[in-house]
Structure 1
Amino acid sequence: MKRARTGGRGSVFTPADFLDMAGRAAVDQALSRLVKGGRLRRLARGLYDFPKVHPKLGPLSPGPDDVAQALARETGSRVQIAGARAANVLGLSTQVPAKSTYLTDGPPRRVVLGKRTIDLRHASPKHLIAPGSPAGTVVQALRHLGPIRATDVVQVAIRQLSARDKKMLAASAVQAPAWMRPTLVSIANTMSGARDG
Structure 2
Amino acid sequence: MIHSIHKQIVTRIIKKRRGKLIFPADFNDLGNGNAVKTSLSRLVNDGMLERLAQGIYLYPKHDNVLGTLYPSAEDIAYNIAKRDKARIIPTGVAALHRLRLSTQVPMKLVYLTDGAPRKIKVGKHIITFKSTTAKRLAAKGKISSMVIQALLELGKEAVTDQVLNRITEVLQQEDKKKIKEDSKLAPAWIASILLSIMEKLEKDDRVAGIN
1:102 is matched with which residue?
A: 111
Q: Superposition pairs for residues 1-197 of structure 1, below 5 Å? A: 1=10, 3-4=12-13, 8-20=17-29, 22-56=31-65, 58-130=67-139, 133-150=142-159, 151-197=161-207
Superposed displacement of residue 64, structure 1: 1.0
Aligned length: 197
Task: Note the aligned Cα RMSD (angstroms).
Answer: 2.6
Amino acid at match of 1:67: I
Cα displacement (A) at 1:117? 1.6
Matches of 1:125 and 1:13 in 2, distance apart? 29
Q: Which moved more, 1:82-91 or 1:127-136?
A: 127-136
Contact persistence 1:81–1:132 (CA under 8 A):
no
Q: Please identify, of 15-24 and 83-92, the stretch whose mean Cα deviation from structure 2 is larger.
A: 15-24
TM-score by structure 2 length?
A: 0.78
CA distance in 2, matches of 1:48, 1:120: 19
Q: Would the alpha carbon gap of residues 94 and 66 (structure 1) be closer, same or farther in structure 2, given more than 3 Å must change?
A: closer
Aligned AA (1:119): T
Residues 46-74 of structure 1, C-alpha deviations (whole Å, 9 max, x = no match): 11112232435533432112211222133
Cα distance, 1:77 vs. partner? 1.0
Q: Give the helix-richer structure, 1 or 2.
A: 2
Secondary structure of residue in 1 paired with 2:139: coil
Q: Is the 8 A contact 1:80 1:131 kept in 2?
A: no
Counterpart CA distance in 2 for 1:175 and 1:80 is: 14
Q: CA deviation at 1:143?
A: 1.0
Higher relative contact order (CA 8 A, sep 6+): 1
Amino acid at match of 1:61: Y
Shift of 1:129: 4.9
- Runs of at least 5 residues in structure 1 that lack an aligned partner in the other structure: none
Q: Distance in 1 between matches of 2:32 and 2:172?
A: 41
Q: Deviations over 1:99-134 (max 9, x none)?
A: 122221111222222222222222223333537822
Deviation at 1:33, TM superposition (A): 3.1
Displacement, 1:142?
Answer: 0.9
Unaligned runs of 5+ in 2: 1-9
SS at match of 2:130: strand
